[in-house]
Amino acid sequence: MNIILLGPPGAGKGTQSAGLVERHGMRQLSTGDMLRAAVKAETPVGLEAKAVMDRGELVSDAIVSALIDDNLAAMDAQTGAIFDGYPRTAAQADDLDRILARHGRSLDHVIELEVDVDALVERITGRFSCANCGALYHDTANPPAKPGVCDTCGSTEFKRRPDDNEETVRTRMEEYRAKTAPILPGYEARGIVTRVDGMASIDDVAGAIDAILA
């Protein structure tokens, strides 16, 4: 099973991907996570991508498609892939078809998380994660059960993404509207798009996604 989770920043792609990994043993391929790891490790890709990411603009198609290709090559053929934050442009959508074919895979579902854009800024500026295990939280919508302590690993260290500020979020939204949303009609023509109400609770969205995959 190979699926794309599509939706603007803050739609819940990362949260839902983590749930799918846990429930179905799929693998999350998040180009954002890969790029943040490259920035942290100060690799050539990371050094090139950092300023672009800080502005909320898109990193080059060649860089992100190569990351996806490399990660798929390292996966065994039975493990399902969740594409999270990729593809984001028409060129990347074409790349993905070629990459999947090369690895003997094909796309089963494109799941679009539909969200109220006005609510997204609040969603994004409130989010943070465990600095140790990466578990995702939100100030109001999904705080740790015990304040200041990670539910998953007990760490007391948390972090926020540098690009989760209001100004950068607006640029990221505009990039989504202008470059990513236009790839949907192509997938619609293939009959593989399903829309899910991304404003529902985390559990309800997960249930709706599982119903699509069943």
CB 67 within 8 A of CB 31: yes
Establish if 85 lies at the interface with ligand AMP (CB under 6 A): yes
Q: At what angle do helices 90-102 and 61-73 cross, to 10 degrees?
A: 20
Closest CB 147 distance from ligand AMP, rounded Å: 26
Establish if 19 lies at the interface with ligand AMP (CB under 6 A): no
Token pair, residue 52, equals: 């672009």
Establish if 64 lies at the interface with ligand AMP (CB under 6 A): yes
Stretch binding ligand AMP (CB under 6 A), from 58-66, 100-108, 134-142, 144-152: 58-66
Residue nearest to ligand AMP (CB): 32
Closest CB 192 distance from ligand AMP, rounded Å: 19
Closest CB 112 distance from ligand AMP, rounded Å: 15
Residue 157 buriedness (CB in 10 A; 0-12 / 13-18 / 19+): exposed
Q: Is 127 noted as a catalytic residue in this protein?
A: yes
Establish if 169 lies at the interface with ligand AMP (CB under 6 A): no
Please, which contacts does 190-194 make with residues 24 or more away whose CB atoms are closer than 8 Å? Answer: 190/107, 192/107, 192/108, 192/109, 192/110, 193/109, 193/110, 193/111, 193/112, 194/109, 194/110, 194/111, 194/112
**Out of 1, 52, 121, 136, the residue judged to bind ligand AMP by CB under 6 A:** 52
Q: Is 13 noted as a catalytic residue in this protein?
A: yes
Phi, psi of 83 (to 5 degrees): -90, 115
Establish if 35 lies at the interface with ligand AMP (CB under 6 A): yes
Q: Is 195 noted as a catalytic residue in this protein?
A: no
Site residues for ligand AMP per CB under 6 A: 9, 31-32, 35, 52-53, 56-59, 64, 85-86, 88, 92, 163, 172
